[in-house]
A and B are shown apart, each in its own frame.
Chain A
Amino acid sequence: MIELQDLRLSYNHHRVLDGINFKAHFYEKIAILGESGEGKTTILKLLLCLARPDGGRIIIDGRDITFLRESELLDSRKKFSIVFQDGALFDSLDVKENVAFCMREFSTLSEDEIENRTREFLRRVGIEEAIHLMPDELSGGMQRRAAIARSLAACEPEMMLYDEPTSGLDPITADNICNLINELSAGTPPGRRGLIIVTHDVEAAVRVAERFLYLKDGKIVFDGSLDALTHAGDPGLRKFIKGLLPR
């Protein structure tokens, strides 16, 4: 269970988050929509304690992690894995070493075993042929896939966090990424792996998520299902989801 209570955060006197409240289970599929600069990425960072709020509390499975020390965050971070907007691959390591990174850090698997598992993860995301390439030799779509593979290999997380997984990609590649995201979160509620996707690509959000949040002026002004979303009254939100509405 994730609980955000009255989160507030300012950067240089500019209020980014102004009282964020929401609760979710790990198996939920949530999309956070909002304009650029509304603080969507910031929410993901707060969940992982990569940034700290000015006020409010972050509670993961009943434990208040808001101001825990780095070394005490291990347990709560293990439940998540994140795929950043730019992939955030380690750019001095090739794709294989990126995916194998956590196996090398935390396990004592043999070289063959690591190679096999790495190939298996890359096959799952469909870029096995890129195993020996460096991150800057990959296309944007391949970088995100490699990043997804690395996150899966790191831990089998209870919830995946995706930051703009489809932005800057052509419709076909974006579609493939959505399929991949759906595949990784397949199954029925209590058992499946949930996700939070942060995006301004409404089509992608609709394809992978079941619950939608809309962020405006540092607050969540909408929280509901797809059905409720298409009937929402907020004019800003209606503009945002124009593509979904019947003409």
Chain B
Amino acid sequence: MQNFYELSQRSFLGVFRRPFYVRDIIEQMDYAGAGSFFIVFLVSLFIGMALSLQISTELSSLGLKMYTGKIVGISIIREIGPVAIALSFAGRVGSGMASEIGSMVLGHQVDMLRVFGIDPIKKLVIPRVLSSTIMLPLLTIIGDAVSLFGGYYISVFVSHQSGSFYWSQIRAIMGFQNIFSGIAKPFIFGFVIACISCYMGLATRGGARGLRQATTTAVVLSTIMIIITDFLLTRILFFVLGMQA
């Protein structure tokens, strides 16, 4: 546990210290960001549609279905978008990081880096932490937009509401508070997922079974931490932004 704390701290500080492995960072951004686009797109689209379907049905029984856009928008941007996308990201990218680094450990490749005088934290961990801290917020912005379009599709074509009214409600909730809480979360999630996954990868011991263990633990821990951090962040953001529950 102490080592985990040390790894997180060093990856945070190391971002600002030489040497910088620009090529590795770009490669990781491509893997984590561009590579996750498809899954984020699909997940977001269907979550947006399902949510809109649920909410418009419920609201129409109360005669309030014109508020669908507002409720869908707020839930997606503040809560469901960041969490759902972070969870898909942890499943895809977190497991990938843990298993890749883990197999490098088992194959003595990480030892080889150290023999050559290269710090594995700088060469392997920081590019991954940096790329997922940058890419997850971007993916979340894209995913949120896709979700809102999914919600739009359902409320206009299935629930027969006015499309322009849907968008005007979305526009109305695009205030600083909502946007800020929607973007601040994925920054933290991205950092947490990458630190946990890299740590698990570097701690891999004991062959194929150890690798399985490392990968599973990386995803399970990331999942738990996303959910817990989400709650804590929501509390903190409400406090900082002066919102009342």
Contacts and interface: CB of A to CB of B under 8 A. Distances in A.
B114 A88 contact: no
A70 interface: yes
Contact of B117 (A45, A77, A88, A90): A77
A81 interface: yes
Interface residues of B, number: 13
Given A86-B108, A90-B109, A91-B107, A81 B115 contact: yes
Interface residues of A, number: 22
Contacts of B117: 74, 77-78, 106
B117 to A, nearest CB: 5
A91 B112 CA distance: 12
B116 A154 contact: yes
Contacts of A90: 104, 109, 112
Contact of A77 (B104, B107, B115, B119): B115
A84 interface: yes
Interface string B102-142: 01100111011011111100000000000000000000000
A90 B109 CA distance: 6
A86 B107 contact: yes
A26 interface: no
A33 B218 CA distance: 39
Interface in B78-123: 103-104, 107-109, 111-112, 114-119
A109 interface: no
Q: Name the residue in B112, B114, B118 with the highest tally of chain A Cβ atoms < 10 Å from its Cβ.
A: B112
A82 interface: yes
A71 B107 CA distance: 23
B119 A48 contact: no
Contact of A101 (B103, B116, B119): B116
Contact of A70 (B108, B111, B114): B114
Contacts of A84: 108, 111-112
Interface of A: 45, 48, 50, 70-71, 74, 77-78, 80-82, 84, 86, 88-91, 101-102, 105-106, 154
Interface of B: 103-104, 107-109, 111-112, 114-119
7 contacts: A48-B111, A70-B119, A77-B115, A86-B108, A88-B107, A90-B109, A101-B116
